[in-house]
Amino acid sequence: MNHVKIFDTTLRDGEQAPGFSMTGGQKLRLAKALEALKVDVMEAGFAAASAGDFEAIKTIATEVKDSVVCSLARCNEGDIRASGEALKPAARGRIHTFIATSPLHREFKLKMSKAEILRRAVAGVELARTYTDDVEFSCEDAIRTERDYMKTVCEAVIRAGATTINMPDTVGYTTPEEIQDLFEFLTTQVEGAENVIFSAHCHNDLGLAVANSLAAIRGGARQVECALNGIGERAGNCALEEVVMALRTRKDFFGITTGIETQGLYAASKLLATITGNPVPRNKAIVGKNAFAHESGIHQHGVLANRETYEIMKPEDVGVSTDNLVLGKHSGRAALKARAEKLGFTLADNQLASVFAAFKTLADDKKEVFDSDIEALVLGEAVGVQGPWTIDSLYVSAGSDNNREPEAIVRLSHEDGRTETHVSRAKGPMNAVFAAISEIAQIPMHLEHYAVTSVSSGKDAMAEATVRVATEAETYQGRGTDTDTVLASALAYLDVINRIERRQARNATEDRPIAAQH
């Protein structure tokens, strides 16, 4: 079989990474973007982790029709039944159950014998089969598991009804040569291998996740588990956009296809960055701002003569537009909608109305509205109103007078009806703004990183501000955009305040989340 299934775990493994948590509504929006990409399977969460995860999976299972919706579950009755119930509305549902198999995990984490782990693995798969015919089983820490024992476990769960067998490199330890050899062993030596799909799930601790996933495919893996922008536990997972474009660009070498609509990769990547507040690094492969940029004179000359001299992919192949059509205040809804679609965004009527109103306001401030401006407006609508706090007014004074500190006057409104105003002075104007916002919300935070970049070109360009702040327990990312740099920065900081309040509200009504690694 020369087709590889793409199993996306952005909503599960990706969301577990610090700073990447999402609300149920945000997960649904991203799930719809993954469905538009035509991922084969999306792991929507870990149903037993919390009431919020259970409801998010159930909602996604109800709304998503074209992709298999999956829930993770440990090999125990409670986890598997929670997954089965959450997936009941799914047109196609999968339960993904796992247990650790390596000597380290057997001895120090599970404190179980080989026989007990084998018994639980089989029982878990058999129970999952009572809910769905699509059951995936994972040997957690597979890379450090003895091959003879792994073979025994795989054969037992295949007999129990597993249809996909996943080999996670849980700690990002393996190498391309080693994992290729492992999959060659599994696909040729495991009894019943011809009846299942073997899957690779590689972590990026040594920077080898994509290389290892491609090597696993060469060894016989026919499913790759990955995440948008490579997000995930610790250093992250195999990046979906990278493994997909590697297979497409080097089809001559791999001879493998996927069903991914690659023109949607850039938009999906940007949506994830906007929802989580974590910007895509400029030098990120495939979807970074520099991926198709050329500054060197030699490179520019070559690209102008023939793009293939320095570009192995077309920007349009991943959804990066090279036709930067300029719109203005006289442009209509049809032109805006058509431009958004060319950039990879499909807008419902209510979204179009909201984006068009914001576009008109922006067009009054700017003579020309570029693709990057439209992208920022669309992504702002896609994320939606994310209160509870909003900015009513903001005034900042700053200068070089040594006798006066910069001052910020901030007025915020809360969805519960409160309106609060605070005046702060600090060594810098943005420090004063951030201090005023923290004081009003009564959430003390430490600013770790603050950056402002231009969304488009020109003196009236929109600014995109990003902040990373830390509380006593967690690190958060925030993002804000506006033609006013100070306001964009304040919006980014307020984005973090709102994330914290929303999380506190969720935690008040949910059980404590359970972390799952594999």
Question: Residue 107 carries which DSSP code?
Answer: I
290 is in an annotated binding site: no
The C-alpha R_g of the chain, in whole angstroms, comes to 25
Q: What is the CATH number of domain 5-276?
A: 3.20.20.70
Domains 5-276 and 389-508 share a fold: no
Over residues 282-291, the pLDDT tens digits come to 899 999 988 8
CA distances from 9 to 73, 164, 491 (A): 14, 15, 29
Over residues 8-37, the pLDDT tens digits come to 999 999 999 888 888 888 899 999 999 999
Residues 90, 67: contact at Cβ < 8 Å? Answer: no
* CB atoms closer than 10 angstroms to residue 310: 15
Domain residue spans of the chain: 5-276, 290-320, 321-383, 389-508
Beta strands in 170-287 (DSSP E): 197-202, 223-226
Average pLDDT along the chain, 518 residues, taken 10 residues at a time: 95 91 90 97 97 96 98 98 98 98 95 97 98 98 97 98 98 98 98 98 98 98 98 97 98 97 94 87 91 54 56 87 68 83 79 83 75 76 69 89 84 95 93 95 91 76 86 82 90 90 75 56
Residue 120, classed as helix, strand or coil, is: helix
252 is in an annotated binding site: no
Compute the Cα dihedral for 235, 236, 242, 243 and give only its sign: positive
Residue 117, classed as helix, strand or coil, is: helix
13 is in an annotated binding site: yes
Residue 464, classed as helix, strand or coil, is: strand
CA distances from 32 to 69, 95, 141, 245, 463 (A): 11, 20, 31, 21, 28
* CB atoms closer than 10 angstroms to residue 465: 24
Over residues 52-110, the pLDDT tens digits come to 999 999 999 999 999 999 999 999 999 999 999 999 999 999 999 999 999 999 999 99
* CATH fold label, 389-508: Double Stranded RNA Binding Domain (3.30.160)
Provide the percentage of residues in the chain whose pLDDT is more than 70.
91
CA distance 104 to 121: 17
414 is in an annotated binding site: no
Give the N- to C-terminal CA distance of the chain in Å, as an integer.
Answer: 26
pTM, rounded to two decimals = 0.82
